[in-house]
Chain A
Amino acid sequence: MNLPFKPVLLWTDALVFAMIVCILLFAWYTTRHEHLRAPWRKVGRSASGMVSATVLLAFVLVGVLDTLHYQLALPSEKAEAGQRYAPEVLSALDALAAPLRMRQERTFSAPFAAFAHSRETIAQPDGTQRRDYPRLEHGGAHLKDPTKERLPDIARGALQGVALAALLWMLTSAIITGIAAARAGSRFADVSGKLWRGELDVPLRGVLVTLGILLFIALPLIVLSGHYHVFGTDKVGQDVLYLTLKSVRTGLVIGTVTTLVMLPFALALGIMAGYFKGWIDDVIQYLYTTLSSIPGVLLIAAAVLMMQVYMDTHAEIFDSVTRRADFRLLFLCMILGITSWTGLCRLLRGETLKLRELEYVQAAHAFGVGPWRIMARHVLPNVLHIVIITTVLGFSGLVLSEAVLSYVGVGVDPATNSFGTMINSARLELAREPIVWWSIAAAFVFMLALVLAANLFADAVRDALDPRMRALFDLPSLRRRPGRARQVAPRAAM
């Protein structure tokens, strides 16, 4: 059996899959326990939570596709020599977006352009030369006369995309409504009516509208990207849409793997400090006070500089650019984790200090249950909401800090596509004449969508899971208090 490709598991891939398994296990555990399910049901009822979750899922889909890595098999002459594989590590996203990846221009071109962005000297067939905007190699290459045909062609492509999106959207809407109807045990038409009047428990209307918006934006772009560079090309002629899609994975990996890396430390040390007290508490407190007193960026910079020296002096360990970049990404996650576990550790310690005095823990102690078992069975499940809230809240901050770190020069490897590297290379292009705005605009829009969705989702999760925080951060609901809201009346609960 000879596969035409060989699956490759990079370090970060393994951790991403571990993360997904963890989330699935946790979800499975949650669905079997009513008291755990209740707060999540509340997330499911929050409109902003569900809408942002839809957007986040779209990003996760792109990220997971980009995590399935493989190497293509090389055609080999001799069968007995064993199959050899191309050195380049590709992902499922690369395969899907192969047209985007392969069709490189020479340099900048504007979105939907058929001609290059700047004049070049073109040799005429009759031997003379003239300065003009040359045709692009791929963008709009199927047109005979781009000046006349380009706009109608784009309109036709967009229309096709919209039609496709409408079809797909109606199909998913029908399926989702059908499922909702089946679960409620009522007729399809009833549920559909309720859904669109916004009367369902779960705000499916918001989800479907968001899904519709995503589809109506994505599908025309996909259709058009067959013949055009819809987001333009960058300095070396790479398609900006492709670069942006590749950046999504980096952002997601930094936001999630960092948490996965730091979680064991924070959990173990925080609970131990709070449970044992005494000298163990002193040592752990000293440890996290010391670590948190070093400014984060500087500690990361120092660690990454040191790793660079190590990688330069031990170049033989990293056999390919991909592995090297992947190692650096993993290292960045680890060092970000080391700088960010202290906050969670402090919270867990405080909560454990409270929990250990509660009766059920004392009872377990009196029954002769060992300290490790008490921590695992009685303390850990009761601090998990803190872990979830901190994790979800931290995600957007990590995505944002990647951009800053990459700018400072201690972020991801230059070979890795990320929002940080995109911003960094695009910021000087604004100074060009005529300006090149599309790279930075694409990075801006995608990053804003990702971080905004993450922030809104985090708020929904926090409101549901943390009873104390309710009404503090969430949007004040206007529906509940009709009439003039500002009245000098006792407000027991906002």
Chain B
Amino acid sequence: MLRYIIRRLLYAIPILIGVNVITFTLFFVVNTPDDMARMQLGVKRVTPEAIERWKQERGYDKPLLYNAAAPDFGHFSDTIFFEHSARLFRFEFGKAESDGRDIGHEIATRMGPSLAIALPVFLVGLLAYVTFALLMALFRATYLDVSGVILCVALMSISGMFYIIGGQFLVSKLWNLVPISGFANGLNAWRFMILPIAVGLVGGFGESGRWYRSIFIEEINRDYVRTARAKGLTEGRVLTHHVLRNALIPILTGVVVVIPALFLGSLVMESFFGIPGLGSYTIDAIGSQDFAVVRTMVFLGSLLYIVGLILTDISYTIVDPRIRFE
């Protein structure tokens, strides 16, 4: 098991290097640091000296891939590509280009609010959707099930932004129950958290409910279920003890992989509700064309995704003893 995990971790390295190459190509080759300097300093009326100073401050004044002037190994190490990649792998993200604040520090402080929304949505959602889907499977092929599926299809056809706008309009503006947006530290935060969490739950309902239902219905047609019924088990016990346990593998495939990425929060939700998390940080960075922050978030996002994939594989071995990785 440990050997398997180590091997998976080693596999992750070339993928991360690949991600790094892609972001590097996007951010440095397609547009040279000169272009970026001009963007940041204003396209017109910019002197060559100002560009040089901007590049020097950020260490962008070196050659991209190959430095002929540097000695020996410096050919490769004294370049933007090497320095930029080495720093990312050491988790040194540098300073934001727009306001000069330390990106690593920002990420550490903004992770909390992101998690405060994303984690409840994830946990309560998982519980609620699975329960709902099990109920639909229990009442399958009745009008209850049909109306459940219709509800799911209708809900998943509505853009997530309408849930947010509708929720803010109804709950905050018309009924004045909770503030429209904002965030507070400590225990007071619940007033700000409750609406985003509710909206997140409703928004994921259609797609997830239908997906889990399809998983359960697929399991229900298997032979072991018929055997269980033939032994005289009640339908509810068959569902919770046999179907649910066997459906865990497909469920885990979709669920575990998103757990690490919960840190990053949701872009749209956080920016609509004014939550100072990583999602709104990313949106602000996109808005102010802060390449250093976007680059960091791309790297972090891929890293967390890969961690999620490894966790998925490990979780398989826990729920299904038949699966072994050697």
Residues of A within 8 A of B (CB): 286-287, 289-291, 293-295, 297-299, 301-303, 305-306, 308-310, 312-313, 396, 400, 403-404, 407-410, 419, 423, 427, 430-431, 440, 444, 447-448, 451-452, 455-456, 459, 471-473, 475-478, 481, 485-486, 488, 490-494
Q: Chain A interface mostly helix, strand, loop or mixed?
A: helix
Q: Tell me whether A423 and B159 are in contact in the complex, defined as CB-CB below 8 angstroms, given that A295-B301, A295-B302 are known contacts.
A: yes
* A494 lies within 8 A of B35 (CB): no
* A301 lies within 8 A of B158 (CB): no
- Distance from A23 Cβ to chain B, minimum over Cβ atoms (Å): 23
Closest to A287 in B: B18
With A294-B19, A427-B161, A486-B142 known, 6 other A-B pairs at CB within 8 A are: A294-B301, A295-B261, A306-B26, A306-B30, A403-B159, A451-B157
Cα of A28 to Cα of B305 in the assembled complex, Å: 43
Q: Is B165 an interface residue (CB 8 A)?
A: yes
Closest to A484 in B: B142
* A302 lies within 8 A of B295 (CB): yes
Q: Tell me whether A286 and B14 are in contact in the complex, defined as CB-CB below 8 angstroms, given that A291-B22, A408-B267, A444-B162 are known contacts.
A: yes
* B159 lies within 8 A of A400 (CB): yes
* B157 lies within 8 A of A407 (CB): no
Cα of A459 to Cα of B156 in the assembled complex, Å: 13
* B286 lies within 8 A of A404 (CB): no
* B282 lies within 8 A of A305 (CB): no
* A293 lies within 8 A of B141 (CB): no
Residues of the A chain whose Cβ atoms lie less than 8 Å from the Cβ of B149: 475-476
* B298 lies within 8 A of A286 (CB): no
Residues of the A chain whose Cβ atoms lie less than 8 Å from the Cβ of B282: 298, 301
- Which bucket holds chain B's interface residue count? 35 or more
Residues of the A chain whose Cβ atoms lie less than 8 Å from the Cβ of B169: 430
Cα of A478 to Cα of B149 in the assembled complex, Å: 13
- Distance from B9 Cβ to chain A, minimum over Cβ atoms (Å): 14
Closest to B168 in A: A430
* B31 lies within 8 A of A310 (CB): yes
- Distance from A486 Cβ to chain B, minimum over Cβ atoms (Å): 7
Cα of A387 to Cα of B169 in the assembled complex, Å: 41
Cα of A448 to Cα of B267 in the assembled complex, Å: 22
Q: Is B283 an interface residue (CB 8 A)?
A: yes
Interface centre among B161, B162, B235 (most CB of A within 10 A): B161
- Distance from A332 Cβ to chain B, minimum over Cβ atoms (Å): 14
Closest to A451 in B: B157
Interface residues in B245-300 by Cβ distance below 8 A to A read 261, 264, 267-268, 271, 282-283, 286-287, 289, 291, 294-295, 297-298
Residues of the B chain whose Cβ atoms lie less than 8 Å from the Cβ of A481: 141
Residues of the B chain whose Cβ atoms lie less than 8 Å from the Cβ of A430: 165, 168-169, 173
Interface centre among A302, A409, A477 (most CB of B within 10 A): A302
* B226 lies within 8 A of A490 (CB): yes
Query: Among the listed B157, B161, B165, B218, which residue makes an inter-chain contact with A404, where contact means beta carbons less than 8 Å apart?
Result: B161
Residues of the B chain whose Cβ atoms lie less than 8 Å from the Cβ of A410: 286
Q: Is B221 an interface residue (CB 8 A)?
A: yes
Closest to A315 in B: B43
* B214 lies within 8 A of A294 (CB): no
Interface centre among B210, B218, B261, B267 (most CB of A within 10 A): B267
* B302 lies within 8 A of A302 (CB): no
Q: Is B120 an interface residue (CB 8 A)?
A: no
Cα of A313 to Cα of B33 in the assembled complex, Å: 13
Cα of A493 to Cα of B295 in the assembled complex, Å: 51
Cα of A278 to Cα of B38 in the assembled complex, Å: 46
Q: Is B146 an interface residue (CB 8 A)?
A: yes
